[in-house]
Amino acid sequence: MWDVVVVGAGPAGCAAATLFAREGLRVLLLDKSAAPPPKVCGEYLSPGCLPILERIGALKSVWDAGARPLYGMTIHTAAGRTLQAHYPHGGNLGDLPVHGLAIRRSVLDPILLDVAVKHGVEFEPNFQVSDLMWEDGWVVGVRGRHRGRVTALPGRLTVGADGRNSVVARRIGSVMRHRWLDKVALVGYVTSAERAEDVGEIFLGHDRYCILNPIAPDLTNVGLVITRRDFTPTTDASRLLLDTAATLSGLGDRLAHARPTGPVRCLGPLAHRGSRLVAPGALLVGDAAGFLDPFTGEGIYAGLRSGEIAVQCALPALRGRDVAHPDLHAYAAAWRREFLPKWRLCTLFQHAIRRPPLAEWLVARLGRRPHLTTILMAAVGDLMPAHDLTPLRLLPRLLTRARTFA
C-alpha cells in the first residue's frame, strides 16, 4: 500500500509527488511514457512559478539549464495599437527577481522529474492507467497495463495529474467542455524570426491570436490559437500556422524569413474542466482539473500550485495512520478559491479576442492608465490573487463594456 499514487509525471504530478515525499510519505509516480514526452505548450512560466520552483528545490537547475527571463508582455491589436505591459517591481517574491521564464518543456519536465526522484519518489514509466480501484465507495488505487500485464497498485490517495485526457478525471466524474471557447492550439519552433528578447509578444486577430516566446537564442516558440472550425484533421498544421500568423497585423514581417525547425503540434479543444475535482481517496491537479486557454500562460503555474494545494489539504489525513483514506473536500474548496477568479479574468480576455473593437477599447484604456496595467499584470503573472482586482471594480466595468460590444 502506497501512501500516494500520482498518475502523470508533468509539472503538476512531479510537484505534488516531491512535496508528499518530502513529508516522509511513500510516493509512487506513474507515467505512460518512458520519459517526459514533447508537449504542446507555450513554454512560459509566469513570475508566480518562481517561488514554487524554489520551494520544491528546482529553481537553480532551471536557471542552469538556460531559462530566459521575460519581464512582461507586448500586446499588438488588429488595428496596430500596442500595449507594453511589464510585471510590477517589488512584490511578494522576496529576493527573487520579478519576471517570468521561457524554457522548453523538454528541459523543464526532466528537471522536475529528477527532483522528485531525488526526494525519494519511486518513478514507474510505461504504466498506462486504465481505471481506478474502488472499495466501499473509496478510491483505493489504480489499475493499468505495465510490461504487457494488467497490474493493480493500491494507494491511500490517488492524484490525477494525467492532463487534459485524464483517465482519473473521467473515472471520478466527467470532463465538461466550455460552452463557447472551442479552440485549437498549434505550436512550433522557428528560427530567424524578428522578436523581442525579454518579453512575450501577443498578436490579436478576430477570434484568434498568436504568441511569440523567445525560448533560446535564435529559437522562437510560435503558438497560434484559432477556433476549432478553422482546423480539420486533414489540415497541414505547419502551413496553417505560418499562413494564419502572416495575416495578423504586425506579425507577417516578423516571420517573413522564419524557418520551421520541426513539426507543428496541435492540441484541442482547449477549454475544459472536470465536473468533480475530488472523490473519496482521489483528487485532480493541473490540466486534469481543468484548462481554459493559454492566453495568459497560466497552465504551468496552475499545475505547480495545485500540486502544492493538494499536499497542504491531504497531508493532515495522510499523517493520521488511523484514517484509511483522506477526505478531500477542503482541496476542492481551496482549488476554487485559488483558480476561479483567474478563470473569470481569462474569460474576459477571451471576450475581447472574439470582438476586436472591445480589444481596441481595452488596450487603449489600459494604455492611458498604467497603474491599472501594473495591477492587471500582477494578477496575470500570478503575483496576486485575481480576486484582488475586484476592489478596483475593473472586472464589472469591463464586463459591462463586453456586453456593449456583444
Report whether 20 contacts 114 (CB < 8 A).
Answer: no
What radius of gyration, in Å, describes the C-alpha atoms of the chain?
Answer: 21
- 206 and 306 share a domain? no
Is residue 85 in some structural domain?
no
Q: Which residues pair with 212 in a beta bridge?
A: 201, 222
332-380 residue pLDDT tens: 999 999 998 888 888 888 888 888 898 998 899 889 988 888 888 888 8
Residue range of the domain that includes 394: 347-404
Query: Can you name the residues that pair with 128 across neighbouring β-strands?
Result: 145
Please say whether the beta carbons of 381 and 46 come within 8 A.
yes
With respect to residue 75, please indicate whether it lies within any of the assigned structural domains: no
pLDDT digits (tens, 9 = 90+) for 99-135: 999 999 999 999 999 999 999 999 999 999 999 999 9
Distances (CA, A) of 357 to 227, 249, 345, 353, 360: 19, 15, 18, 9, 5
Per-residue pLDDT tens over the stretch 264-281:
999 887 888 889 999 999
Considering the domain architecture, whether residues 134 and 10 belong to the same structural domain is answered as yes
- For residues 243 and 327, membership in a common domain is answered with no
Element spanning 50, H or E: helix 49-55
190 with 305, same domain: the answer is: no
CATH code of 130's domain? 3.50.50.60
Q: What is the pLDDT of residue 304?
A: 97
**Percentage of the chain surpassing pLDDT 90?**
63
pLDDT by residue (tens digit) across 148-198?
899 999 999 999 999 989 999 999 998 888 888 888 999 999 999 999 999
Percent of the chain with pLDDT over 70: 91
CA 29, CA 292: separation in Å to the nearest integer? 26
> Which pLDDT value is given to residue 197?
94
Residues 153 and 30 in one domain: yes
- Report DSSP letters for 3-64, one per residue: EEEEE--SHHHHHHHHHHHHTT--EEEE-SSSSPPP-----EE-TTHHHHHHHTT-HHHHHH
Joined grid coordinates for residue 186: 498549434
- Among candidate residues 283, 308, 339, the one where a domain is terminated: 339
Let me know whether 275 and 128 are in one domain: yes
Neighbours of 322 (CB within 10 A): 5
| The pairing of beta strand 27-30 with beta strand 72-76 | unpaired
| 3-class secondary-structure state, position 358 | helix
Collapse the DSSP code of 332 into the 3-class scheme (helix H, G, I; strand E, B; otherwise coil) and give the result.
helix
Same structural domain, 308 and 372: no
Residue 81 has pLDDT above 90, yes or no: yes
Looking at residue 336, what DSSP letter applies?
A: H
Residues 195, 152 within the same domain: no
CATH number of 205's domain: 3.30.9.100
| Other residues' Cβ atoms within 10 Å of the Cβ of residue 336 | 12
Tell me the pTM: 0.92
Domain boundary among 305, 339, 373: 339
| Segments of 228-377 assigned E as strands | 259-260, 265-267, 272-274, 278-279, 282-284, 290-291
Residues near 48 by Cβ (< 8 Å), separated by ≥ 6? 301, 305, 381, 382, 383
Give residue-wise pLDDT tens across range 12-39: 999 999 999 999 999 999 999 988 888 8
Number of domains into which the chain is organized = 3
- The cell for 164 is 487534459
Residues 60 and 121 occupy one common structural domain: yes
Residue where the block lists cell 522536475: 112
Of 16, 92, 97, 183, nearest to 379 (Cα)? 92
Examine the domain organization and report whether 226 and 108 are in the same domain. no
As given in the structure block, the three cell numbers for residue 341 are 477568479
* Domain presence at residue 156: yes
Residue 81 counted as domain residue? no
Tell me, yes or no, whether 96 lies in a domain: yes
Q: Which three cell numbers stand for residue 294?
A: 493559454
As a whole number, the mean pLDDT across the chain is: 89
Where a domain ends, among 209, 235, 267?
A: 267
User: Would you say residue 84 lies in a domain?
Assistant: no
pLDDT digits (tens, 9 = 90+) for 390-405: 544 555 555 555 555 5
Are 152 and 248 found together in one domain? no
pLDDT of residue 82: 95
φ/ψ (deg, to 5) at 28:
-115, 125
* Placement of cell 476561479 in the chain: 340
Cα–Cα distance measured from residue 140 to residue 169, given in angstroms and rounded to the nearest whole number = 15
Please give the C-alpha separations between residue 94 and each of 87, 173, 336, in angstroms, as whole numbers.
15, 40, 26
Q: How far, in Å, are 16, 189, 264, 305, 368 from residue 254 at the CA level?
A: 40, 14, 18, 35, 27
Domain annotation covers residue 76: no
> 265 pairs with which residues across the strands?
187
Same domain, 210 and 310: no
SS3 212: strand
Instruction: Decide if 83 is inside a domain.
Output: no
